[in-house]
Chain A
Amino acid sequence: MLSPRSQLCFVLVALTLSVGAWGCTQDSIAVGPLSATAPTTEDAGGSGAADTAQVPSSGWTVDVQTPPADGSPRLYLRHALDGQDLLVQVVIDGVDDLVGIAAHLRYDHNALELVESDGDASFLDSLTYRSKLLLHSAPDGRVLLGAARLLPEPPLGGPVAGAKAIEDATWATLRFRARAQPDASTGDAVEIGFDPEHLLARVSTYDRVQLAVGRLLVTPPAPGAPAAAEAP
């Protein structure tokens, strides 16, 4: 008899086999390339306008707005659906010489419940530098994110070197679940996105990097909506 977590892993593995590749472990939410069912379509025109797509299924409606993949630094969200849950990945792309990055991811905590979170800052690791990850769920619908690289035995002073060429690196994976809202009007979209006043990325010169950011507009399923169909 599989444990609930093992069952989840099975489902995810099954989904992965059919739609893409998310890795999975017993102890954490897996991270990996995005499922093809939740596209972040590239806009080769590089107009800077976010790309959007709507994915109606399993009661969730997800409106994806992603900065174009034109090589510019961006911070965007990928998602996947897992039964009643919405899995959201925070992805860093197009950043060179990064020393540290911080963000607040906001969501409507009256409509959504963050049930699980996991992070990975290894995109900042190197032979000499070790990454540090900050991932904290605040009670007001905010996830505090941070990642930085440090030398384990640093000299007294001297320059800091940034990580090279970060491409499509998954920083965190979050599992959201719709809250039961008997008195709320269903069908209202809520945003999962970054607080622009708490966005910071610095390179080795201490200069800030301007990040184009994405967001999700999600409409949670109504109470009692059917779960996502299991993959064959």
Chain B
Amino acid sequence: MSRPGRRTTWVGLCAVAAAAGLAGIVGSAVGAGAAHAVLPTGASHPALRTIDAPVLPGTALDRRMKAAQAERAMHRDHHHHDFGVWQANPDAAATWADFSKLEGVEWSIQHQDITVEVWVEGGVPRIAGEATVTVRAEVEGITELAFRSEPLEGVDVQAVDGVALTWGYDNAFGGQAGRLLLERAEPLPVGQNVDFRMAWQAKLDCDDGSSLLKPCSFGNTFQAVMFFRYFVQRWDTLHSPFTSVLHVLTPPDRAAAAPGIPTGPQSVPDGRIVWHFTQNERTSNAGFSIAPYDLTGDGLGAEAVKDKHALRVYTVGNFKSRADGFLELVEDAVATYGDWYGAFPWPQLNVIQTFDGLGGGYAPLGGVFMLRDIFGAQPGGQGWRGAVELTAHEVAHQWWGNLARPWTNGDVALSESMAEFTSCLYTEKRLSSRSQLLGNNLSYAWTVDADHDRPVGANNVYSSPAYVKIVYHKGAVVLDMLRHQIGEESLLAGIANYASAFDRDYATISDLRLAIEEVVGEPLGWFFDQWFERKGMIRAELSASVTPLPESGGARWALRVAQLSEQPFRFKLPVRFEFASGEPMSMDLEVLPPDDGFVSVVSVDLPAAPIRARVDGTRVLLRRFTGLNPGDVNLDGLVDGADLVELAFRNGRAIAVDYGGGQYFVPNAGYDELYDVDANLRILPDDADRIIEFAGASSPIFDAP
């Protein structure tokens, strides 16, 4: 069956009928006595167009998107294979299949002891570092070691074990990276740690990217380094985690904050002080911030690490008055996620206020950096919802991205989609609102250009301009749909199973699926295939019919679902029926596309004809629906006064607004495209006029089971 041909035929019949003045009767092709309204002119599916408009500035979605873009920039080194890694060693992926196999590779970086200092010289921020890098070989004959770094100056390398060492350093990839090559006169001893020392300097470009997305900052209050990798990694592998101790030199009136167990400060002879951060977990995410910090929560030092994790909040100035609120928020999030996914995995969590230009948040292992202004919010006050959403997302990264880590670019959903879903679930529970999830849903459904769309699990998803909308927004909604599909308890248990199985390991999206399947005991390949391996979402034309059942006195409600996507989706459709009298009924109807087509019909016998059928009323599904019988907004099979009544309650709900001379997208959770009869992205009195115009139109008769 050809979909376009069938639609054309239907519209053609309507046009002929209208031309002949037979507004009430179409003809035998659709059943005697049936009437069908002509679709709005202008386009065959006007409701399916994408809004070509940016997000309304200053809205919660706008702030979340900027934060996500900042986070994306933070991870670019891990998720952009710009350095020709795979060309250099295409077999590397096979040997780095998971964390547990890291010890089995030829050699690895075990530990780095790094001292850094920052300053401004001639208006240019600079950083200098000294590091003792510990490596270990697992096989015989390793004499050459290649490392990747940021572009460096003044590099010097010395052997520690007395074995003669030659080395060379050059900038690679147009100056975007540095490559350090070491050659030893003797092979590394197998199974033994060997140190070498390196020293370097570098210029910091804090104006990389947009003005909101700064990798570093050297202001009056904060001096922070987020994106610059002040450590080396193996040149030819995707992942190169190591334990570390970071020492940060600061003026005596400042403090440093970073992930890890904090100790210090100690004085150094030149009057500065040095702070120490011990990271006993293998990771390659890091960052530090220097400011006149106040510390709230557990104190410094190893003695602060008791049987449970230590929790610290670093703030400056008057923001200290808000620190207790953030401490409680983080404690609650950690405890909640512990119930859902398994105990918090690290000995400490340091929540660090840093420069506003960060744009959002960044969560390395055991730490969370967030922009300054977030810390001005307090419970119940302005901005608190945004603070909760961002904090919840960043804390969730302690599990997603740091505990269980994405293996490839195509698995970034295991970090960002999981963190965003966790944040949405948390705000749903704690703030009793699905607005975060609904905003994500509408954002993807209405503003992703087809040319920019990618599957969530695509290896090239990172390169799409719509990356945030695909991975964060769609990804979170996909996980929520999985919750709807299998139940919340099963989903959380399945995710906890995954977290346990990939504790301190690298995983793929397939690993997540298998872990969940293990718990629920049913195959979920169909779900993961259609939502992670394909782009797009559910797009369907709906039409309903109601047939009396004289024997029972009830009625059969049938819904015809004609999917318009390139490939049809399988989904569980929530429906709620209201009747003129009696209690409403809610149920889920499984929509299974036929093997060879795009049209499904689902039906249910009801105690009476419904006065309203609300499909997906809470927008669980990632979808765009259009009504095949426009005006029948309540899907009771007939355009009548009840549709007018329902529209009155949605008057004004719009996802496109005119503001400051432009048109902007706003994720209005009250918007439902089925009520937008003239499909102009706004529900207005004009739509009521269309209902009145189409009054009496009933759905085309279709074969109902």
Interface residues of A (CB under 8 A from B): 99-104, 130, 132-140, 144-152, 154-158, 160, 196-202, 206, 208, 210
Contacts and interface: CB of A to CB of B under 8 A. Distances in A.
B696 A138 contact: yes
B142 to A, nearest CB: 64
A134 B691 contact: yes
A83 to B, nearest CB: 29
B631 to A, nearest CB: 10
15 contacts: A104-B640, A132-B685, A132-B689, A145-B641, A146-B640, A146-B691, A146-B695, A150-B648, A156-B654, A157-B652, A197-B579, A197-B609, A198-B640, A200-B642, A208-B578
Contacts of B643: 146
Given A104-B640, A135-B695, A152-B685, 13 more contacts: A100-B641, A100-B645, A100-B646, A101-B645, A102-B641, A102-B645, A134-B691, A139-B24, A144-B641, A150-B651, A160-B648, A160-B651, A197-B580
Nearest 9 A/B pairs, CB to CB = A146-B641, A102-B641, A154-B652, A100-B645, A136-B695, A148-B648, A146-B644, A102-B642, A144-B640
Contact of B666 (A102, A152, A156): A156
Interface string B674-700: 000000000011001101100110000
B608 interface: yes
A52 to B, nearest CB: 23
Contact residues of A: prevailing secondary structure: strand
B640 A134 contact: yes
A1 to B, nearest CB: 33
Contacts of B640: 102, 104, 134, 136, 144, 146, 198
B670 interface: yes
A104 B611 CA distance: 11
Contacts of B24: 139
B649 A134 contact: no
Contacts of A201: 645
B580 A196 contact: yes
B645 A99 contact: yes
A133 B692 contact: yes
B126 to A, nearest CB: 49
Interface in B607-663: 608-609, 611-612, 638, 640-649, 651-654, 657
B281 to A, nearest CB: 46
Contact of B645 (A104, A148, A196): A148
Given A144-B696, A197-B579, A156 B644 contact: no
Nearest to B694: A136
B102 to A, nearest CB: 52
B248 to A, nearest CB: 48
Contact of B649 (A99, A104, A136, A144): A99
A148 B612 CA distance: 16
Nearest to A155: B652
Nearest to B636: A198
B171 interface: no
B531 to A, nearest CB: 30
Given A102-B645, A156-B657, A200 B611 contact: yes
A147 B649 CA distance: 13
B41 interface: no
B33 interface: yes
A100 B609 contact: no
B26 to A, nearest CB: 13
Contacts of A152: 685
B210 interface: no
B651 A151 contact: yes
Contact of A132 (B611, B644, B649, B666): B644
Contact of B644 (A148, A151, A197): A148
B649 A160 contact: yes
B435 to A, nearest CB: 11
B581 interface: yes
A160 B648 CA distance: 8
A130 B641 CA distance: 16
B668 interface: yes
A206 B649 contact: yes
Interface centre among A99, A101, A200 (most CB of B within 10 A): A200
A121 B684 CA distance: 18
Contacts of A145: 641
Contacts of B652: 151, 154-158
Contacts of B33: 139-140
Given A156-B654, A157-B670, A158-B652, A130 B685 contact: yes
Given A101-B641, A136-B695, A156-B668, A198 B649 contact: no
A143 to B, nearest CB: 10
Given A104-B640, A196-B581, A136 B645 contact: no
Nearest to A145: B641
Nearest to B578: A208
Contacts of B609: 197-198
Given A139-B33, A145-B641, A148-B647, A134 B692 contact: yes
Interface in B574-598: 578-581
A64 B243 CA distance: 90
A136 B696 contact: yes
Contact of B648 (A99, A137, A157): A99
A199 B580 contact: yes
Given A100-B648, A134-B641, A198-B611, A148 B688 contact: yes
Contacts of B644: 100, 102, 132, 134, 146-148
B649 A202 contact: yes
A147 B644 CA distance: 7
Nearest to B644: A146
Interface in B541-574: none
A185 B2 CA distance: 53
Contacts of B685: 130, 132, 150, 152
B645 A202 contact: yes
Contacts of B689: 132
A139 B641 CA distance: 16
A198 B696 CA distance: 13
A149 B651 CA distance: 10
A140 B696 CA distance: 11
Nearest to A210: B581
Contacts of A103: 641
Contacts of B666: 156
A134 B668 CA distance: 28
A146 B608 CA distance: 21
A199 B582 CA distance: 12
A147 B641 contact: yes
Interface string B137-168: 00000000000000000000000000000000
Contacts of A198: 580, 609, 611, 640, 642
B58 to A, nearest CB: 14
Contacts of A154: 651-652, 684
Contacts of B648: 99-100, 132, 148-150, 160, 202
Of the listed residues B641, B645, B646, the one surrounded by the most CB atoms of chain A closer than 10 A to its CB is B641
Contacts of A210: 581
